[in-house]
Amino acid sequence: MESQLVLALALAALVGVSLGLLGGGGSILTVPILVYVLGMGAREAVAASLFVVGATSAVAMIAHAGAGRVRWRTGALFGLAGMVGAFAGGLLGGLIPGAVLLIIFAAMMIVTAVAMIRGRRGGTADGEEARSLPLARILIDGSLVGIATGLVGAGGGFLIVPALNLLGGLPMAIAVGTSLLVIAMKSAAGLGGYLFSVRLDWAPVLAFTATAIAGSFLGAALAGRLPERALRTSFGVFVLLMGVFVLVQEVPPLIAPGTAG
């Protein structure tokens, strides 16, 4: 168990780097680590992931805010709209089989990845468009992303960053910083709901969180130094690989003879 905890903490540092650098990928990485390395149950892992990702995002956001890479109004409104949309998406997701949800999840990731790799044509270079973005546009974009993330049960960083970058017109580094505010808000709300029915072993959760937070400082420092195109492309490749991995895991059992249903 001690060796498993050491491995989990090493991987927790990567979770922090991912959140600090890319503004996403936290829940995609955290839940499998907690389940397959630390042996947590699925519900406990999801609840613990919300705490880890929420706390790490909040701390990483401070570094981004100090560098002027957080748009508070846009992030707060996007986050509030996302909470409402996520609730609706969660209701819809309860009516869809799990394997189908995972395939939808992977498809969303692949489409998002392609968009990020291709980039925003004529995108803003200085974020002026984002400052004047209409309130209705922020609320609509936030709600749509919330529905998508609620439907597939993911934290949403891999959708929030592209939405802020491609739809909202925020430069990539600012989209990353602002997404951390949105993730922290949604994670806090989700954790509050889970704690009514789930008990957590807080010792490993807090150790995992502390290590992830340490990694987030490195990720945040790198985010301000890497070129926007390189950052956007690396994010897109990461999401593309994860999407393909999920498809490889979920599609064969559905189409294999005698396993459908």
CB 187 within 8 A of CB 57: yes
Give the integer Cα–Cα distance in Å for 62 and 43.
29
Give the integer Cα–Cα distance in Å for 142 and 22.
19
Give me 214's structure tokens.
Answer: 């340490």
CB 17 within 8 A of CB 216: yes
Q: Is the whole model's pTM more than 0.85, yes or no?
A: no
Question: Strand, helix or coil at 71?
Answer: coil
Question: Strand, helix or coil at 134?
Answer: coil
Q: Give residue 87's pLDDT.
A: 78
CB 168 within 8 A of CB 81: no
Q: Give residue 211's pLDDT.
A: 93
Give the integer Cα–Cα distance in Å for 181 and 164.
12
* Residue (of 151, 97, 102, 101) closest to 261 by Cα position: 97
DSSP state of 125: S
- pLDDT per residue as tens digits for the range 204-240: 999 999 999 998 888 878 876 777 677 778 777 877 8
Q: Give residue 132's pLDDT.
A: 53
**Within 10 A of 36 (CB to CB), how many other CB atoms are there?**
12
Mean pLDDT of 107-136: 63
**Within 10 A of 260 (CB to CB), how many other CB atoms are there?**
9
Asked if the model's pLDDT at residue 73 lies above 90, the reply is: no
**Within 10 A of 41 (CB to CB), how many other CB atoms are there?**
11
Mean pLDDT of 49-74: 86
Cα angle for residues 140, 144, 145 (degrees, 5° grid): 120
Give the integer Cα–Cα distance in Å for 196 and 199.
8
Core vs surface per residue 112-147: b (16+ CB within 10 A) or e: bbebbbebbeeebeebeebeebeeeebbebbbbbbb
45: amino acid identity, one letter? A
Give me 115's structure tokens.
Answer: 């968009």
